[in-house]
A and B are shown apart, each in its own frame.
Chain A
Amino acid sequence: MEALALGAEIRDRVLSEVGKVVVGRERETDLILTCLLARGHVLLEGVPGVSKTLVANAFSKCLGLQFRRVQFTPDILPLDIIGGFIFNLKDREFEFRKGPVFTNILLADEINRAPPKVQSALLESMQEFQVTVEGRTEKLPSPFMVIATQNPMEFEGVYPLLEGQLDRFMVKVSFGYPTPEVEAGILKRNLSSMDLNDVKVVVTAAELDAMVREVDSVTVSDDILAYLARMADATRSESSLVLGASPRAMVQLLHCARARALLRGRGYVTPDDVKTIASEVLTHRLTVDRAAALKGVSRNPEGVLTAILDRVEPPR
Chain B
Amino acid sequence: MVSNELVLGALLALNVVLYASLVFAALRLRRRKFSASSLSDAFKGLELALKEAVPDLPSGFTWEEAVARLRSSGVHTEPMEGALKSYEAYLYGGAPLPDVDYREVVNVANMIGGMPQGKRGGGASIGR
- Say whether A and B bind each other: yes
Q: Does B91 contact A (CB under 8 A)?
A: yes
* Number of chain A residues close to chain B: CB under 8 A: 20
Given the known inter-chain contacts A270-B88, A272-B64, please indicate yes or no for A221 contacting B94, CB distance below 8 A: yes
Does the CB pair A313–B60 fall under 8 Å? yes
* Number of chain B residues close to chain A: CB under 8 A: 16
Which of B47, B59, B63 lies in contact with A272, CB distance below 8 A? B63
Does the CB pair A275–B94 fall under 8 Å? no
Q: Does A268 contact B (CB under 8 A)?
A: yes
Does the CB pair A221–B60 fall under 8 Å? no
Q: Does B43 contact A (CB under 8 A)?
A: yes
Given the known inter-chain contacts A221-B94, A266-B93, A268-B93, please indicate yes or no for A314 contacting B60, CB distance below 8 A: yes
- A223 to B64: give the CA distance in the assembly, Å: 17
- A267 to B92: give the CA distance in the assembly, Å: 10
Separation in Å of the B77 CB from the closest CB of chain A? 15
**Quick check: which of A22-30, A174-182, A199-207, A304-312 contacts chain B, the rest being far away?**
A304-312
Given the known inter-chain contacts A268-B89, A270-B88, A316-B47, please indicate yes or no for A219 contacting B94, CB distance below 8 A: yes
Separation in Å of the B108 CB from the closest CB of chain A? 15
Separation in Å of the A305 CB from the closest CB of chain B? 11
- A123 to B63: give the CA distance in the assembly, Å: 38
Does the CB pair A275–B60 fall under 8 Å? yes
Does the CB pair A314–B93 fall under 8 Å? no
- Which residue of the partner chain B has the closest CB to A311? B60
Q: Which of B58, B93, B94 has the most CB of A within 10 A?
A: B93
Separation in Å of the B66 CB from the closest CB of chain A? 9
- A309 to B98: give the CA distance in the assembly, Å: 30
Mask, A293-311, CB within 8 Å of B = 1, is 0000000000000000111
Which of A224, A310, A311, A312 lies in contact with B92, CB distance below 8 A? A224
Separation in Å of the B33 CB from the closest CB of chain A? 22
A224 contacts which chain B residues (CB < 8 A)? 92
Q: Does B62 contact A (CB under 8 A)?
A: yes
Separation in Å of the A39 CB from the closest CB of chain B? 23
Q: Does A271 contact B (CB under 8 A)?
A: yes
Q: Does A269 contact B (CB under 8 A)?
A: yes
A272 contacts which chain B residues (CB < 8 A)? 62-65
- A219 to B43: give the CA distance in the assembly, Å: 22
Which of B62, B63, B94 lies in contact with A268, CB distance below 8 A? B94
B:60-79 near A, CB below 8 Å: 60-65
B:25-79 near A, CB below 8 Å: 43, 47, 58-65
Does the CB pair A314–B89 fall under 8 Å? no
Does the CB pair A267–B93 fall under 8 Å? yes
B47 contacts which chain A residues (CB < 8 A)? 316
Which of B43, B60, B89, B91 lies in contact with A310, CB distance below 8 A? B60
Using a CB–CB distance below 8 Å, which chain A residues touch chain B? 219, 221, 223-224, 266-272, 275, 309-316
5 nearest A-B pairs in the assembled complex, by CB-CB distance: A268-B93, A310-B58, A272-B64, A271-B62, A310-B60
